[in-house]
Chains A and B, each alone.
Chain A
Amino acid sequence: MTSATHGVGHAVPGEHGHHDDHAHHDDHHHGPPSGFMRWVMTTNHKDIGTMYMMFALMNFFIGGIMAMIIRAELFQPGLQVVEPEFFNQMTSLHGLIMIFGAIMPVFVGFANWQIPLMIGAPDMAFARMNNWSFWLLPPATVLLIGSLFVPGGSLSAGWTLYPPLTVQQGMGMDMVIFAVHIMGASSIMGSINIITTILNMRAPGMTLFKMPMFCWTWLITAFLLIAAMPVLAGAVTMLLTDRHFGTSFFNAAGGGDPVLFQHIFWFFGHPEVYIIALPAFGVVSQVIPAFSRKPLFGYSSMVYATASIAILSFIVWAHHMYAVGMPAAGQLFFMYATALIAVPTGVKVFNWVATMWRGALSFETPMLFACGFLFLFTLGGFTGLVLSIVPVDIQLQDTYYVVAHFHYVMVAGALFSAFAAAYFWMPKWTGVMYNETLGKWHFWLSMIGFNVTFFPQHFLGLAGMPRRIPDYNLQFADFNMMSSLGAFVFGGSQLLFVYIVYQCYSRKGEKAAANPWDGAEGLEWTLPSPPPYHTFETAPEVK
C-alpha cells in the first residue's frame, strides 16, 4: 500500500486496535485504499480471499440459474421451455461454471484467508501474483457467459468437451477454450503460491505434522493442480488446432483418434475430482473436531490417506471410459485401481466418525453441514464403488445414475463442506456472528431439497434414462417431476445463504468473540474477530 492512501482504511473493523498496537511501526503498511481501487490493487490475502469467495458465490448463482432451466425443461415430458440446442448449452455451461467458477474458486478463497492465519504467516508468499491469479478469473467468466450470445451459441457438447462434436461447434467453443486456458493459468499460479506459502512461511515450531488438516489437504491439492491443469490446457489446445489449423489429433480421417482426447481429458479430469474433494475433506477435518470438542482421530493416517488418494487419482482416469471399448486387461486394471480408492477414503470416513465418537457434540450450522457432508458424501462414495465395477458401469455409464453419483460427491460433498467452512469462519472474517436460526433453516432446506432432487435420479438411471437429454419417455415422468421440485426448493433456499452473508458483511448481528467456538483450536482463533488487516507480522511461537 502506498503512503498516500494511508489512513483511509477505517472501513475495516479491527484496524483501530491494530493501529494502536503498532502505531510505531511501518505506517505506510497499514490501511487499504478505499473504494473500487482497493480491490483491484490489493495484494492482501484477506481481501483476495474475500474476492475469491464473492466471485464464487456469484458464479454459484449463474450456474444455479442454468440448473433451474434444466430442471424446468425436465419437469415433464415433451419440449416446453427451451430448445434442445439451448438445453445442451445449459448442461455444458452449468458443469463448467460450477466446477471452475464456483467450487474451485471458493476453496482457493478459503485457502487465501485461512492458510496464512493457520500457519502464522503474514500473507501469501507471492502477494502480487495472488492478485493476478484472482483477476484472471472474471475475464474467463465473461468469456464463458459471453459465448452464449455469439452466433451459434455456446458450447453444447458437454463440459467434457469431447470431439468430434466440439470440432463442429461455433465460435462460442473457442471462447470456452480460452476461458479454460485462463482459469487453468490462474489455478496454477494459485497452487504455486499455496505450496510456497506452506513450505516456507510456517511460524517457528509449526512443523508440517502440526499443521491443521486443512493446510495439509490444500498442500496436496496444490500439487494435484500443478500436475493436472497443464494436461487440460494441452487437451483444449489440441482441440483448438484441430478446429482451426488443420491438425488431426482427434480426427480419424487424418490419422488421429477421438478417444485420445478422452484419455487426456480424464487424466486431468479424475485428479480434478480430488482437487475439489480434498480441500472439502480438509474443512470437515477442522469442523468436526471443533464441534465434537475432541482432537481429530488419526491425524497422521488422515495425511497418508489424503496423499494416497492423490496418487491413486492419477491411475484411474479410464474408469470414465469403460464404454469406449478398451481391452479386457485395461478395463480390469482401471476397475481394481478405482476400487482401491475406497480404502483410503474409507479410512477418512471412519476417522471422522471416530472423532465424533464419545465427543461432546453440538450442532451449530457448520457442524450440521459437516455431518450432512459426511453422510451424503459417503453415499456418493458407495455409488462410486458400484460404478467402479466395469459390467455394472456399462449399464450405468452416461445415465442419470452417474448424474446422481457425482452430484452427491460434488454438491453434498464439496458444496456442503464449503457451506460448513463459510459458517465456521465467517464470524472470524467479519467479526459478526451469522444468524444461527437462518443458518439451520438453510441447512435443512438444502439437505431436503438436495436429496429430493438427486436421490430419485439413481432410480432414473437404473431404469435407463440417459443423461443430457431434454425429453424422455413417460415411465420417467414421476421421478423427474419429483427431482425438479426438489431442485426448485434447493435452488431457492440458497437465497437464504446470500441474506445470511449479507447480514454478516454489513455487520448486522452479534459481535463475534476471538474464538466463538469453544472447541475450535488453532492460530486463527488467537486473533481478534475480525483480524486486523495485517496479521502475524511477527511470527507467533508454536509449541
Chain B
Amino acid sequence: MTNGTTRFARRLIAASAAALATITTTALAGNMNLQEPASPIADSVYDLHTVITLICFIIFVGVFGVMFYSVYAHRKSKGHKAAQFHENVRVEIAWTVIPLIILILMAFPATKTVIAMKDTTAPDLTIKVTGYQWKWNYDYLQDGFNFYSTLATPLAQIEGREKKGENYLLEVDNPMVVPMNKKVRVLITANDVLHSWWVPAFSVKQDAIPGFVRDSWFVATKEGTFRGQCAELCGKEHGFMPVVVQVMAEDKYAAWVADQKKKVAAAADDPAKVWEQGALIARGEKVFQANCAACHQANGKGVPGAFPALDGSAKVNGPKADQIHILMNGVMKDGKPTAMVSFKQLSDTDIAAVITYTRNSWGNKTGETIQPAEIKAARG
C-alpha cells in the first residue's frame, strides 16, 4: 500500500468510526433504544438486553483491539517479518472454555425471565384477542362484551395529502383497556392468517395462529396509552393494524367496564318492546334463512319424508302456544330427540320474529303477531 492510500484508508477508518459513534449516540439520545418498560417483565427484559449487549461490546472491543493493533503494527509495509507459529493448544482451549463459561453465566437470568414470562396462572382478568385481516378484536370474556379495534389514521395522511400526526399509524378507534397493577392474561388467536400481538412496553409478543389459542400475560405498572403493531406479515395491510392498550386506574377501569356493558345492553333488543307485524316478519325471514331453511327449505315445503313442510302445516296454522313450545323444546319422537332441536338459544325477539314470519308466509295466513314478551313468558 502506498503512503497516499494508507492515509486515505486511515482517514476513512476514522471517519467511519466517528460516523458509527455518532449514530449510536444520536440513537440513544433520541430514544432509539428498547421502549421504556411498563411492566415487571419488560423491566427484566430491558436489563437483560443491556447487560448482554455490554458483555458483547466488551468482547468485541477486546478481540478487535487485538486485530486493529495487528493491522497497525504488523504491516509488511513497515517491514514486519511474519512469525510462523500456527498452533497453541493452551490458548485454543482457553478461548473455547472461557466463552462457554460466559454463556452459562448469561443463561441464568435469561432462564429466570423465560419461566416468569410463561407463568400465566391466576390472572385477575382474561381478554381474548383475535387477529383479523386487518384489525384486532378484544373480547372481555368475564364481562361479556367485545369490540373491534382498527386503524384510525386517515388515508389522507398516509397518501401525504394531510400533515401526519404524532401517532401516525399507531392510533386506533377503540383501544384495548386494562386496569393498572392487575395481572391480565391475553388469549391470542387469529381468524384468517398469522398475526402477532405486540406491545413493546409490556414485552408481550405472541403470534396469533388461526385455529389455535396461545396465551401470554402482563401487569401494567403505569397509567397511559401504550402502542405497538402487528409483528407478523399478514398481507397487504400488515403495516396498518396497530395495537393500542390504554391502562387505567382500577376505579376508572370499573367505570369504563360499566359503560361498555351499558352500551351492550342498549344495543340488545328489549324483550318488552311491542313490534309492528311487518318489521317482525322482515326480521323473521332473516332468522328463518339462517336457522331453519336448511331443512324446511326457503319455500317452506320441507323435504318430503325427511323434513316436514311448514307451508300449510297444522302446527304452524294451529294454536301459537304449540309452535312456541316446539321452538323452545324441540320435537321428541319415541322418546328420542329428532332433527328439530330446541332453538331457545336464540333471543326472544328472534324467536318471536321467526314464528310470526312462518305464520304469515307462503300459504299460511293466520294474521297473528307474536310479541317477544310472549316468548319471555314461555321461558318461565
Taking beta carbons and an 8 Å cutoff, which residues of A are in contact with B? 77-80, 83-85, 88, 156-158, 162-165, 168, 251-253, 257-259, 292-299, 301, 323-325, 327-328, 331-332, 335-336, 339-340, 342-343, 346-347, 349-350, 353-363, 371, 374-375, 378-379, 382-383, 385-386, 389-392, 394-395, 397-399, 437, 440, 444, 447-448, 451-452, 455-456, 459-460, 462-464, 466, 468-475, 478-479, 482
Contacts and interface: CB of A to CB of B under 8 A. Distances in A.
A198 B111 CA distance: 43
B48 A165 contact: no
Given A324-B209, A390-B110, A297 B49 contact: no
B374 interface: no
B20 A386 contact: no
B48 A361 contact: no
Nearest to A444: B12
Given A328-B114, A353-B67, A391-B45, A471 B193 contact: no
B166 A361 contact: no
Contacts of B83: 294, 358-359
Given A292-B82, A460-B32, A389 B91 contact: no
Contacts of A163: 193
B167 interface: yes
B233 A84 contact: no
Contacts of B188: 325
Interface stretch (B92-100, B289-297, B310-318, B328-336): B92-100
Interface stretch (B73-81, B272-280, B300-308, B351-359): B73-81
B340 interface: no
Given A252-B212, A455-B20, A459-B33, 5 more contacts: A157-B235, A325-B207, A382-B60, A395-B200, A475-B31
Contacts of A455: 20, 23
Which one of B31, B34, B192, B206 has the greatest number of beta carbons of chain A within 10 Å? B34
A375 B67 contact: yes
A378 B64 CA distance: 10
A79 B160 CA distance: 8
B194 A386 contact: no
Interface stretch (B177-185, B237-245, B246-254, B263-271): B237-245
Given A332-B111, A466-B231, A360 B158 contact: no
Nearest to B160: A78
Nearest to B99: A346
22 contacts: A164-B193, A168-B193, A252-B211, A258-B210, A335-B114, A343-B103, A346-B99, A347-B95, A347-B96, A350-B95, A390-B110, A390-B113, A390-B117, A391-B41, A395-B45, A398-B232, A448-B19, A451-B20, A455-B23, A463-B32, A464-B229, A479-B27
A327 B118 contact: yes
A356 B74 contact: yes
A227 B97 CA distance: 30
Which 10 pairs from chain A and chain B are nearest by CB? A252-B211, A469-B239, A325-B214, A459-B32, A459-B27, A382-B56, A360-B82, A360-B76, A295-B86, A328-B118
Given A391-B48, A394-B205, A459-B32, A470 B239 contact: yes
B239 A378 contact: no
B356 to A, nearest CB: 36
A298 B87 contact: yes
Contact of B63 (A162, A328, A349, A447): A349
Contacts of A336: 107
B84 interface: yes
Question: Interface residues of B toward A: which range?
Answer: 35 or more
A397 B230 CA distance: 12
Which one of A257, A353, A452 has the greatest number of beta carbons of chain B within 10 Å? A353
B203 interface: yes
B196 interface: yes
Contact of B237 (A84, A340, A342, A349): A84
Given A328-B118, A356-B71, A469-B238, A389 B110 contact: yes
Given A363-B9, A382-B60, A463-B31, A339 B231 contact: no
Contacts of A392: 45, 48-49, 52, 110
Nearest to B35: A464
B80 to A, nearest CB: 5
Contacts of A464: 35, 200, 228-229
B212 A298 contact: no
A444 B103 CA distance: 34
Given A298-B86, A473-B168, A342 B67 contact: no
Contacts of B237: 84
Contacts of A295: 84, 86
B45 A164 contact: no
Contacts of A168: 193, 235
A85 to B, nearest CB: 4
B44 interface: yes
